Copies of this chain bind each other. A is one copy, B any other.
Amino acid sequence: MDHFHEVVAAGDTYALDPDISREDAMAYWFAPRTHTYVAEIEGEFVGEAVSFPATPSSTVKPNPLIAGTYILRPNQSGGGSHVANAGFIVSASARGRGIGRAMAQHCLSEARQLGFRAMQFNYVISTNTAAIHLWQDLGFAIVGTLAKAFRHPEKGYVDVYVMYRALP
C-alpha cells in the first residue's frame, strides 16, 4: 500500500486522514463489496512488487509490476446500489503514461458488466484538474459543487465537485 500512502499523504486529492494506518488503508481499499484491480506494466519495475507465496513446485516468474490500482463498488446500499463509485491511484513513478485513463476505461467497462447503471464520484477536488479533464473526457459531468468543502494543504478552502455519468 505504498502507493496509497504516497497519494493520501500528499493530502491534495483524497479526503482521507493523511496519517491513516496501513491497516485502515487496506481495510478501505479491500472492503466488502469492493472490487479491487491493479494495473501492471509488463517487464518494467515502476513501483512496489507483488510477492507470491513460493511453493516447492511453483515456477519462479518475474513479479507483476504495479503501476496503479483502482476500486469499484456500489456508491450506496439498498435502493442506491445500482450506482457505482470508484477510486484510482497511479504510482508517482508511472504518471503521465496513460495509466489513469487505461484504468478508468477498464473501470467503466467493468461497471457495465457488473450491471451498474451509473457511476458517481462523490468528491473530486476542484484543483485536481487532470482528473476532472479525464472524467469529462470519459463522459462524466459536474452535477454538483460543494463550496469550500476541501481544505487544500497549500490553497486553503477550495470547492469540490460531484461528477456523474449514466452507463447506458
Q: Which of A110-152 contact B (CB under 8 A)?
A: 117-118, 120, 122-123, 125, 143-152
Assess whether A82 is interfacial by the CB under 8 Å rule: yes
Q: Could you tell me if A162 and B150 are in contact, using CB atoms closer than 8 angstroms?
A: no
Assess whether A11 is interfacial by the CB under 8 Å rule: yes
- Size band of the interface chain A makes with B: 35 or more
Copies of this chain present in the complex amount to 2
Q: What are the residues of chain B within 8 A of A125 when measuring CB–CB?
A: 79
Q: Could you tell me if B123 and A147 are in contact, using CB atoms closer than 8 angstroms?
A: no
Flag the segment in A12-20, A51-59, A64-72, A100-108 that touches B.
Answer: A12-20
Q: Could you tell me if A120 and B143 are in contact, using CB atoms closer than 8 angstroms?
A: no
Q: Could you tell me if A14 and B78 are in contact, using CB atoms closer than 8 angstroms?
A: yes
Q: What are the residues of chain B within 8 A of A145 when measuring CB–CB?
A: 143-144
Instruction: Across the interface, name the chain B residue whose C-beta is closest to A141.
Output: B147
Q: Mark A142-168, 1 if CB is under 8 A from B, else 0.
A: 011111111111000100101010100
| Contact with A79, one of B80, B81, B122, B152 (Cβ below 8 angstroms) | B152
Instruction: Across the interface, name the chain B residue whose C-beta is closest to A8.
Output: B78
| Contact with A146, one of B8, B12, B20, B164 (Cβ below 8 angstroms) | B164
Assess whether A86 is interfacial by the CB under 8 Å rule: no
**Bound Cα distance A100, B125 (Å):** 32
Binding site for B on A (CB under 8 A): 8, 11-12, 14-18, 20, 75-83, 117-118, 120, 122-123, 125, 143-153, 157, 160, 162, 164, 166
7 contacts between A and B (CB under 8 A): A75-B149, A80-B123, A118-B148, A143-B144, A143-B145, A144-B145, A147-B164
